[in-house]
Amino acid sequence: MPEKKRKILVTSALPYANGPLHLGHLVEYIQTDIWVRFQKMRGHECYYVCADDTHGTPVMLRAQQEGITPEQLIARMGAEHQRDFADFGIGFDNYYSTHSDENREIVTEIYRRLSKAGHISRRTIKQAYDPVKNMFLPDRFIKGTCPRCNTPDQYGDSCENCGATYSPTELKNPVSALSGVPPVEKDSEHFFFKLGDFKDFLRMWLFPREHKNDRDIHVQAEVANKLDEWFDAGLKDWDISRDAPYFGFEIPDAPGKYFYVWLDAPVGYMASFKNLCAKQGLRFDDFWGQDSHAELYHFIGKDILYFHTRFWPAMLEGAGFRKPTSVFAHGFLTVNGTKMSKSRGTFITARSYLNHLAPPASSPSVSAENWARKRSTRNCCKKPGTPRKRSRRPTKTAITPRRCA
């Protein structure tokens, strides 16, 4: 009997616009692409959308370094990413940008709804400030000596030698990674999303079996275990604002305050789909409305689970949108047992692979000589740097966000 035609919306994580795609990224897009093609071949109405993730301090600083505007940087990176995706045969139905009118509109609407429902609070916090660059510093832009093991040159949030996590104020001899001068503490009013308001909802959404519901399973069992640990640690308010200078969307009625990039990034899924709706005459609410019967699947790496299984469903619930049907998390492509990483230089870019390693489409047989030549060309790709000495972190902290600003 033919299966009922399903409406399915699929996303992959949004690649960040401050660097090229590498093979670690492609692990995700290729598996998502295969899954989407399978659904389409079965005759279902299935859309695959994605976008460049464009906001935040790293993009702003990189543009400054290159002497161009953030808009110029993200336009160039967006074109490079799309070229790489096309040459790998990834079949998006729409590829867009988080720096778009659609995204600004939806983020603003979500914020207004959350605010109206009392899920946003404000309070003044102390934060590290670079007195030379005149800007607040994200944790990753502060370096110093580990307060526990005294290893120098560690980031402001964790030690790569002993695995300790701490706040930047605990670092010994802290300096700004931007100017090299010691940061000063400065007060600033920040906006918070009250995640604790969604404790019961999240518990029900993540652990349906506790409520004798074996049908609505949204995450893999291993993921649910991890999330249970995070629940035990408590649902703290989430800081969703950043001070100028910042590349992003300004918060309505709050001059000089911007939405933290992680607030607008997942909304980029909705914005990219909205853009597709305009092109193809689809109805946005059929897929994102509270009562939508369509299926929504997010493919992500395990490093961004925290955002996709806590903040994201809570934001959607609070703002009156539907929640994901499932979040599929995968592991990392590893080099010598460690994650293939841009920041550590242990990666092969998508373009290097295409230029030097991709099998020629026209000649499926590979001669030994050809193979040896291919192997030798690996040396002309970016050579993996020597990773900094790093101890394995305890499991409890092994899953960390991949971007911090």
The answer to whether 29 and 82 are in contact (CB under 8 A) is no
Site for Zn ion in 36-95 (CB under 5 A): none
Kindly write out the interface string for residues 258-297 of this chain, putting x where it contacts Zn ion by CB under 5 A and - elsewhere: ----------------------------------------
Cα 236 from Cα 226, distance rounded (Å) = 17
CB of 340 to Zn ion, least distance (A): 24
For residue 367, give the amino acid letter: S
Q: CB-wise, 162 or 178, nearer to Zn ion?
A: 162
């940087």: which residue's tokens? 73
Compute the least distance from the CB of residue 172 to Zn ion, in Å: 10
Q: Rounded to the nearest whole angstrom, what is the least distance from the CB of residue 144 to Zn ion in the complex? A: 11
CB of 164 to Zn ion, least distance (A): 5
- Binding pattern to Zn ion, positions 138-177, x when CB under 5 A? --------x-xx-x-------x-xx-x-------------
Query: Shortest approach of Zn ion to residue 139 CB, angstroms?
Result: 15
Residues in 341-370 that interact with Zn ion by CB under 5 A: none
Which residues, 6 or more positions from 223, have their beta carbon under 8 angstroms from its beta carbon? 302, 305, 309, 327, 329
Residue 108 in tokens = 């603003």
Closest by Cα among 128, 152, 150 to 139: 128
Taking the least distance from each CB to Zn ion, the nearer of 151 and 220 is 151
Q: What mask of x and - would describe binding to Zn ion in positions 104 to 143, judged by CB under 5 A?
A: ----------------------------------------
Q: How far is the CB of 234 from Zn ion (least distance, A)?
A: 25
d(CA 108, CA 264): 9
Number of residues that bind Zn ion (CB under 5 A): 8
Q: Which is nearer to Zn ion, 120 or 159 (CB)?
A: 159
- Tokens, residue 371: 């193979």
Q: How far apart are the first and last CA of the chain?
A: 51
Question: Closest approach of Cβ 140 to Zn ion, in Å?
Answer: 16
Q: Minimal CA–CA distance to 379: which of 357, 351, 362?
A: 357
CA angle 237, 325, 322 (to 5 degrees): 60
Strand pairing class (295-301; 257-259): unpaired
Cα 14 from Cα 74, distance rounded (Å): 13
Nearer to Zn ion, 164 or 223 (CB): 164
Q: Which is nearer to Zn ion, 144 or 268 (CB)?
A: 144
How far apart, in whole angstroms, are the C-alpha atoms of residue 66 and residue 358?
31
Residues that bind Zn ion (CB under 5 A): 146, 148-149, 151, 159, 161-162, 164
